[in-house]
Amino acid sequence: MEEQRYEELGDFLKIKRNEISPSQVGLPEGLRRRTPGLRREEVAYLSGVSLTWYTWLEQGRPINVSAEVIESLSRALMLDKQERVHLYTLAKQVPPSAIPLYQSTVNTSLQHVLDNLILSPSYIMDARWNVIAWNKAASVVFADFNKIQVTQRNIVWMMFNNFDYKNLFIDWESTSQGIISRFRSNYAKYIDDPWIVNFVHDLESRNEEFNLFWSKHNVQIKSEIHKKINHPIVGTMTFEFNSFDISDSSNLKLIVNTPLSKTDTNVKVKSLLDK
């Protein structure tokens, strides 16, 4: 899967190059500019590398990239912290995480944690974003995961291909793009996993919206996230979203959606649980 890594690296550089105007980096705009953003030769000049070498890099050729060059490219392309980390990961300068061993269930202790988050819809997902455990609140607010096929019990998949789940979100476009940004960062870590690569290709072929958002290579992640949904039974609900690594298994994440204070969301969750 090394070819996929180099292709991803080249696509990311092209996207970021096209987002910067010459004036932002102190270069003249010039005439007859046929491409948006910077030209390849301008990025090469700003980074202190040869045009041929940089062109090969964007073309996805198997080139070793040093940490020094990554830093130069990051400055030339005005990458923020998250984008810089993403570039390092793609260039294998930050040692990539080993492909994790995936599991389909959690132990009794973790399920107990979920069940005691009574009014907070919560679930646990693996590194592929498959939901492998959940509490009752998650079932009554977001989806009855027991009724969803195991192969489709994936947060990214549901956001784009499960109509009932997708239709919950009042600002679906913003929410889905946020999910894509977080998943893109995860994808860079596990790009050697054939399952994840095939999963992305499948989504690209099935869903135009996913294809559009994925092509933007956005890895900027908001630190504070509110989920606002329109539940078919109780109406508007707003949650604070938080994600936690599970200490004894770094490949699992606990997702907790806490009813936003000063709203009636907690009352509505309770009413759904009592039905």
Mean pLDDT by 10 residues, the chain (275 residues): 88 94 81 78 93 95 89 91 87 63 82 97 94 97 94 95 96 94 88 86 94 92 87 97 82 95 97 94
CB 259 within 8 A of CB 237: yes
pLDDT value at position 183?
94
Question: In this predicted structure, what is the pLDDT of residue 111?
Answer: 96
Both tokens of 197, joined, read 């690569």
- Give the pLDDT of residue 99: 54
Give the list of residues 6+ apart from residue 208 with CB closer than 8 angstroms, or none.
none
Sorted by where each starts, the structural domains of the chain and their CATH numbers stand as 2-90 (1.10.260.40), 108-274 (3.30.450.180)
CA distance 211 to 275: 39
> What is the model's pLDDT at position 249?
61
DSSP run (H or E) holding 46: helix 40-47
Q: pTM of this prediction?
A: 0.81
Reduced 3-state DSSP string for the chain: CHHHHHHHHHHHHHHHHHCCCHHHHCCCCCCCCCCCCCCHHHHHHHHCCCHHHHHHHHCCCCCCCCHHHHHHHHHHCCCCHHHHHHHHHHCCCCCCCCCCCCCCCCCHHHHHHHHCCCCCCEEEECCCCEEEEECHHHHHHCCCHHHCCHHHCEHHHHHHHCHHHHCCECCHHHHHHHHHHHHHHHHHHCCCCHHHHHHHHHHHHHCHHHHHHHCCCCCCCCCCEEEEEEECCCEEEEEEEEEEEECCEEEEEEEEEEECCCCCHHHHHHHHHHC
Note the pLDDT of residue 101: 61
